[in-house]
Chains A and B, each alone.
Chain A
């Protein structure tokens, strides 16, 4: 194809002109693109206020915050994987399996547990371990054995969900230790702990992506794998690493969800189909499925948008039978608005 960018050379501006201001302006532009959804969010907030007087109450918004926290953590994990140029469908199964394994080792046999009666600290370590191991398997099989990531993680999704179901004969596990439920259930004042943790994770990962060498390497590998390799970046490590990080984050999301509903259901994750919302939030938030592009600010906006829309549909007493259709329609609308507001960079 002809290089239509070529005329840029004729631009008379040279590097020796005041650089700092220009770089700062470019950075500001990048920030605005990352937050392309903000105007959409404002519109949604206005609609929410119009639909129900309950919408703008602290308790309602705190509830929304708690509901989207678990999803948000998984979106962070999936965004990292997408940014490096991969995809992982099995995060939704890790979201269910990791807390299930932990709960199974903690609750008594009478409550369908294994009978080991492990403590909550050990339980949380097991939960994180399950996430890491699943991520490692995905990463190694996709990166080293070079299997197709879509099909491999699809198969993993079904296998893991099957294990989650099979190990407890389709039961739900209750009576979780309170320390295990703390992250998902507790409040500090009027703010749910899960929301605080999720916000902290978004900020930490966002800063990591922006200012840490490995974070920058994620963008480099996602943007051009061969160029990254030629620049001395350990591409395989980065790629496997994000799958492991994604697995761990999905497990943390599962921990929050288990705490919120005070149980681990055999349907948690896969049978709720959360992966569609995970992908929707990331992509609406400007994370490119082609890799190399995306921000935590954008992804967070995507998560908040989906959560608010869900909440407005609930408050507006929309018939249960119609919620899904409207939900899907809103996702499409948000995608199109983000495309219009975000400009050319959001084009696929």
Chain B
């Protein structure tokens, strides 16, 4: 093997065990200069562990990592790792209090005689930003940047340090469509310039779009490595899922068509009138909508259109300045999640780490947190067995995997944490479920399972559903879809299946062809 064909980074027979759990078993994979490799797998397949090993955060139990055919530096030599490989995590790692320029050169600020040379640093930063076609001043504080801009700062910073290997861990999770498209262009340019990219994503269409090759992990083992053009999406999914039966997929394929005609009541359950709510994440500027009993309504729009804000206002997680909200005729005051819950709203938040669960507390305690008042009775006595009793059916219904219902939720995988969050919302037997992008960061199989669970539960209990999501895949569940543009209701789609291109056009504020 000649030196030129050595991969820039290579994992050879890498295994890693956590307690009794085999996270990785004999994994071989390689990144080559000028190639983009997609890494896919279900939640818990070992993707994060592999990334941690490749970027020097974890040591493998067996096997080794090689750079250009040379053995990797020891784990303690952090700077040696950081000079070779850059990782852009899902959650931004820029220091928000520092400027763009400082973040670009973090760890190696341009100095003259030991003193930071601000003039030189700004000049160099301007040069870098121009190369990236990135129109922002180098002395701007990163806290004021959007998520997309921060990502650019991170990637650009990695390249400034001369790194030729970039790991992107779900980089589009926090981006809107345009941002994702721009990111793809940049990644393509990077790869064309000879950088090796490892691209981790739950979105298979992204993998097909920008990856040359794809490697699939399942239960810690590589089950497939192939050039992307040689694969179909179905082949990729079945490699990820394996022989495991995915109950959601068949049910999903049948719905919502088979369930039609669904019972639609004219009884108004949720009435939102002219609500105005300020938010840095997209204000609501006079939105009105109605959700009828038993109805499933989707709300979508661009990031910043106020979709999530509107949903958060209804559940009381965010305040509103004008307008009225009623549930079955009962008024819901601003910022009173307890009133919304008591009135019959179940809330599945967007950011489960922030609002979804208390990591230190156990599975059953989190699941029953919304019904603690009822479980406790007049004296408020809550026993662990009462909680377990109430939580078990939900845990079984959602196929939750844990070491027992007392296990702290922080120890569960992302997909199971999401199930705990969903269970918490369902425990109170809500009349209206409000879910904000419930499938974000959840793998394909779990995604279908979650959506079908939501469909089943709303069908079985007659609960209404308000699904606020910018993932169009979630919306197929809905009887109608309302599109918000700049905080106002722009248009409504009433007949599934919804055409993705029409939806995109509507979110951009363009009236779709053939519609008024």
The CA of A217 and the CA of B372, in the complex, are separated in Å by 9
Q: Which residues of A contact B (CB under 8 A)?
A: 1-11, 13-16, 19-20, 22-23, 25-27, 211-214, 216-217, 219-220, 223-224, 226-234, 292-293
Given A2-B51, A224-B358, A227-B356; A9-B415 close (CB under 8 Å): yes
Contact indicator B376/A234 (Cβ below 8 Å)? no
Task: From known contacts A6-B413, A7-B46, infer whether A15 and B91 are also in contact, taking CB-CB under 8 Å.
Answer: no
Interface-facing stretch out of B225-233, B325-333, B379-387, B461-469: B379-387
Residues of B within 8 A of A217 (CB): 372
Contact indicator B48/A233 (Cβ below 8 Å): no
Q: Are B405 and A211 in contact (CB under 8 A)?
A: no
Establish whether residues B404 and A2, one from each chain, have CB atoms under 8 Å apart when the complex forms: no
In the bound complex, residues from chain A placing their C-beta under 8 Å from that of B355 are 224, 226-227, 229-230
| B39 nearest CB across to chain A (Å) | 12
Is A7 within 8 A of B347, CB to CB?
A: no
Residues of chain B within 8 A (CB-CB) of A6 are 23, 43-44, 46-49, 413-414
Contact A211 B404 (CB under 8 A): no
B370 close to A232 (CB less than 8 A): yes
Binary interface profile of B, 19-50, with partner A (CB < 8 Å = 1, else 0)? 01111000000000000000000011011110
Assembly CA distance A211 to B401 (angstroms): 26
Residues of B within 8 A of A232 (CB): 337-338, 340-342, 369-370, 373
Question: B402 to A10, Cβ gap below 8 A?
Answer: no
Q: Judging by beta carbons under 8 Å apart, are B337 and A229 in contact?
A: yes
Kindly provide the distance from the CB of B245 to the nearest chain A CB, expressed in whole angstroms. 15
Residues of A within 8 A of B340 (CB): 232
Pick from B89, B317, B372, B395: contact of A15, CB below 8 A.
B395
Please state if A11 and B404 are interface contacts (CB–CB under 8 Å).
no
Task: Provide 10 A-B residue pairs closer than 8 Å at the C-beta atoms, listed in order of the A residue.
Answer: A3-B48, A4-B49, A6-B48, A8-B403, A9-B412, A19-B388, A27-B406, A216-B382, A230-B347, A232-B342
Structural contact, A7 and B337, CB atoms closer than 8 A: no
- Give Cα A216 to B410, complex, Å: 17
Is B219 close to A, CB under 8 A?
Answer: yes
Using Cβ atoms and an 8 Å threshold, which residues of chain A touch B317?
Answer: 226, 229-230
* B358, A223: Cβ atoms closer than 8 Å: yes
Q: Taking A4-B58, A9-B43, A9-B412 as given, write out 8 further A-B residue pairs in contact, using a Cβ cutoff of 8 Å, ordered by the A residue number.
A: A4-B18, A9-B401, A9-B413, A16-B396, A212-B380, A213-B376, A230-B355, A231-B341
Among all A-B residue pairs, the 5 with the closest Cβ atoms: A9-B44, A7-B23, A232-B341, A22-B404, A9-B413
- Taking a contact as CB atoms closer than 8 A, the residue among B47, B358, B392 that contacts A227 in the complex is B358
Q: Shortest beta-carbon distance, B200 to chain A, in Å?
A: 10
Residues in chain B near residue A230, CB distance under 8 A:
315, 317, 337, 347, 349, 355-356
Measured between alpha carbons, how far is A155 from B434 in the docked complex, in Å? 44
Find the residue from A6, A8, A211, A228 having the highest chain B CB count within 10 A: A6
Identify which of B338, B375, B413 contacts A3 (C-beta below 8 A). B413
| A1: chain B residues within 8 A (beta carbon) | 89, 91
Does B365 reach chain A (CB closer than 8 Å)? yes
* Nearest Cβ on chain A to B349's Cβ, whole angstroms: 6
Residues of A close to B21: CB separation below 8 A: 7-8, 10-11
| A-chain residues with CB within 8 Å of residue B47 when the two chains form the complex | 6
With A and B bound together, what is the CA distance between A228 and B392 in angstroms? 21
Contact partners of A214 in chain B: CB under 8 A: 380
Q: A15 — which chain B residues lie within 8 A by C-beta?
A: 392, 395-396, 400-402, 404-405
Complex contact B354–A8 (CB within 8 A): no
> Which of the residues A9, A25, A26, A212 comes within 8 Å of B362, measured between beta carbons?
A26
Contacts of B219 in A (CB 8 A): 10
Contacts of B338 in A (CB 8 A): 232-234
* A146 nearest CB across to chain B (Å): 14
Contact yes or no, B358 A220, CB < 8 A: yes
**Cross-chain contact of B403 among A11, A16, A233 (Cβ < 8 A):** A11
Contact A213 B373 (CB under 8 A): yes
Is the CB–CB distance between A219 and B415 below 8 Å?
A: no
Query: Which of B20, B357, B372, B410 is the one whose CB lies under 8 Å from A213?
Result: B372
Q: A15-B395, A23-B404, A233-B369 are in contact. Are A5 and B49 (CB under 8 A)?
A: no
For B474, the chain A residues whose CB sits under 8 A away are none
B447 within 8 A of A: no
CA distance A212 to B375 in the complex (A): 11
Q: Hey, which chain B residues are within 8 Å of A212, CB to CB?
A: 376, 380-382
Residues of B within 8 A of A231 (CB): 337, 341, 369-370, 424
Task: Please give me the residue from chain B that is nearest to A207 by CB atom.
Answer: B381
The answer to whether B372 and A216 touch across the interface, beta carbons within 8 angstroms, is: yes
For A23, give its contact among B342, B359, B372, B406 (CB under 8 Å).
B406
Q: Are A219 and B411 in contact (CB under 8 A)?
A: no
The distance from the CB of B409 to the nearest CB of chain A, in whole angstroms, is 10
Beta-carbon contacts under 8 Å, B218-252 to A: 219-220
Point out the residues of chain A lying under 8 angstroms from B396, CB to CB: 15-16
> B160 near A: Cβ within 8 Å?
no
Contact between chains at A7 and B369 (CB < 8 Å):
no
Q: How far is the CA of A126 from the CA of B505 in the complex (A)?
A: 69
